[in-house]
């Protein structure tokens, strides 16, 4: 019997094998997602590795909001990594250091400069969010503020800020995953 992605993530809290199955389901599509944006095989491999490293580290926080599918969640992680790399321009080096991924030929971190093209569609998707959610997502994800700071900037409580960010990211995941499926 084929387990849902959500079931695999729940099971992976006690055993790594179910996460491996999830990885095998999504590694190629996530790699393709990164490759289409970076147009660099090594960077796409690094981002794919980092996407799954982040998924592994945050698997206990996964909430099934897509009828058992982890696709929107994984693509949300992937898109957030790209946004972070564009903002900081250091994600590849950090991923290489954290994961021990080195350029196979030179034994140095691959050097790909992130560009705004990697975020195609993000501005449109952000623009479709209600104002409160859009601003909360921008503060939390793009400006990398903690929830207390987001709440202060929005004039609300940290719990309310977290709800706005969560809802906004959920809407973004749905939109961007739909766009990704339509592009394939």
On whether both 87 and 146 belong to a single domain, the answer is no
Residue 90 CB coordination number (10 Å): 12
CA distance 81 to 23: 17
* Same-domain status, 55 and 1: yes
- What pLDDT, on the 0 to 100 scale, is given for residue 107? 43
Helical segments of 58-115, H only: 71-88, 91-99
Residues 38 and 76 in one domain: yes
Report residue 158 as tokens. 């940290």
Residues 86 and 129 in one domain: no
Domain boundary among 73, 95, 117: 117
Output the CA–CA distances (angstroms, integers) from residue 43 to 9, 26, 123, in the order listed: 26, 17, 22
Indicate whether 58 and 99 sit together in one domain.
yes
Last residue of a domain, one of 79, 102, 117: 117
CATH number at residue 127: 1.10.10.10
**148 and 109, same structural domain?**
no
Domain count for the chain, please give it: 2
Residues 55 and 106 in one domain: yes
Q: Is 161 exposed, middle or buried (0-12, 13-18, 19+ CB in 10 A)?
A: buried
Q: Are residues 111 and 125 in the same domain?
A: no
pTM of the model: 0.51
Blockwise average pLDDT, block size 10, the chain, 184 residues: 86 89 92 87 87 88 84 89 70 51 44 55 76 86 81 88 82 69 60
The verdict on 103 and 158 lying in the same domain is no
Neighbours of 82 (CB within 10 A): 22
Give me the pLDDT at residue 171, please. Answer: 80
CATH for 4:
1.10.1740.10
Show which of 101, 117, 133 is a domain's final residue. Answer: 117
| Cβ within 8 Å of residue 33, ≥6 positions away | 75, 78, 180
Residues 18 and 100 placed together within one structural domain of the fold: yes
Question: Angle CA(126)–CA(162)–CA(133) in degrees, nearest 5?
Answer: 25
Which residue has 């095989």 as its token pair?
41
Q: Are residues 55 and 126 in the same domain?
A: no
The answer to whether 158 touches 148, Cβ cutoff 8 Å, is yes
Task: For residue 125, give Cα distances in angstroms to 41, 56, 93, 149, 179.
Answer: 26, 26, 28, 24, 10
C-alpha dist (Å) from residue 161 to 60, 95, 125, 174: 21, 29, 19, 20
> 102 and 31, same structural domain?
yes
Report helix, strand or coil for 63.
coil
| Domain coverage including residue 146 | 121-184
Sequence-distant (≥ 6) Cβ neighbours of residue 16 within 8 angstroms:
none
């Amino acid at each position: 019997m084929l387990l849902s992605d959500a079931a695999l993530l729940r099971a992976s809290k006690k055993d790594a094998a179910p996460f491996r199955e999830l990885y095998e389901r999504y590694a190629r599509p996530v790699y393709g997602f990164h490759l289409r944006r970076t147009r660099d095989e090594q960077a796409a491999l690094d981002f794919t590795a980092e996407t799954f490293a982040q998924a592994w580290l945050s698997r206990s926080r996964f909430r099934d909001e897509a009828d058992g599918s982890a696709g929107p969640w994984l693509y949300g992680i992937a898109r957030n990594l790209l946004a972070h790399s564009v903002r900081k321009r250091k994600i590849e080096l950090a991923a290489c250091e954290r994961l021990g991924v080195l350029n196979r030929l030179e034994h140095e971190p691959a050097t790909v400069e992130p560009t705004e093209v990697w975020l195609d569609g993000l501005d449109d998707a952000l623009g479709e969010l209600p104002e409160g959610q859009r601003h909360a997502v921008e503060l939390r994800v793009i400006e990398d503020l903690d929830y207390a700071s987001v709440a202060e900037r929005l004039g609300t409580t940290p719990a309310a800020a977290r709800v706005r960010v969560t809802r906004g990211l959920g809407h973004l995941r749905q939109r961007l995953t739909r766009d990704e499926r339509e592009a394939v």
